[in-house]
A and B are shown apart, each in its own frame.
Chain A
Amino acid sequence: MQIRDYILRRLLVLPLLIVGVSIIVFALTRIGGSPIGIYLSHEMSSEEVAEIEKRFHLDEPVPVQYFYWVSGVVQGDLGWSGVAAAPVTEVFPNKLAATMELAVASAVVAVSLGIGLGTYAGARRNRMPDHITRIVSISGAAMPLFWFAIVMLIVFWVGLGWFPIGRSRPEIFSSIAHPTGLYTVDAILAGSFTAFRDAVWHLVLPAVTLGYGATAIIARMMRSSLVEELQEDYVDAARAKGLAERLVLRRHARRNALMPTVTVIGLSFGFLLQGTVVAEIIFRWPGLGRWMADSVLRGDQATIMAYVLFTSVLFLFVNLVVDVVYAFLDRRVVLGS
Chain B
Amino acid sequence: MSLEATSQPVIKPPSESALRVRLRRTREIAASVLSNPTTLAGLLVITAMVGMALLAPWLVTPNTPDPAQMPRDWGAIAVPPGSPDHPLGTTNVGGDVLYGVIWGARTSLRLSLIVVSVTVAIGVTVGSIAGFRGGRVDEVLMRIVDVFLSIPELIFALAIAAVLGPSFRNIILALAIVFWVKYARIMRAQVIHVKQNEYVDAARVIGDSPWRIYRKDVLPNSITPVIVQATLDMGNIVLVGATLSFIGLAEAGLAEWGVLVSEGQSGISGGRWWASTFPGLMVFLWALAFNLVGDGLRDVLDPRTESR
Contacts and interface: CB of A to CB of B under 8 A. Distances in A.
Interface stretch (A63-71, A172-180, A270-278): A270-278
Interface string A303-320: 010011001100110000
Interface in B231-279: 235, 239, 242-243, 246-249, 258, 261-262, 264-265, 268-269, 271, 273, 276-277
Interface string A272-289: 011001100110000000
Given A20-B143, A32-B164, A150 B268 contact: yes
Interface residues of A, number: 51
A230 to B, nearest CB: 15
A192 interface: no
Given A150-B265, A221-B308, A296-B249, A304 B163 contact: yes
A274 B154 contact: yes
B168 to A, nearest CB: 15
A293 interface: yes
A154 B163 contact: no
Contact of A28 (B159, B258, B268, B288): B159
B64 interface: no
Chain A at the B interface: SS class: helix
Interface of B: 38, 143-144, 146-148, 150-156, 158-166, 235, 239, 242-243, 246-249, 258, 261-262, 264-265, 268-269, 271, 273, 276-277, 280-281, 283-284, 287-288, 291-292, 295, 308
B163 A28 contact: yes
B162 A296 contact: yes
A147 interface: yes
Interface string A24-36: 1100110110000
B160 A21 contact: no
A227 to B, nearest CB: 10
Contacts of A225: 308
Contact of A17 (B150, B284, B308): B150
- Looking at B155, B249, B280, which has the most chain A CB atoms within 10 Å of its CB? B155
A138 B291 contact: yes
Given A28-B160, A150-B261, A151-B277, A144 B284 contact: yes
A224 interface: yes
Contacts of B165: 32
A17 B246 CA distance: 31
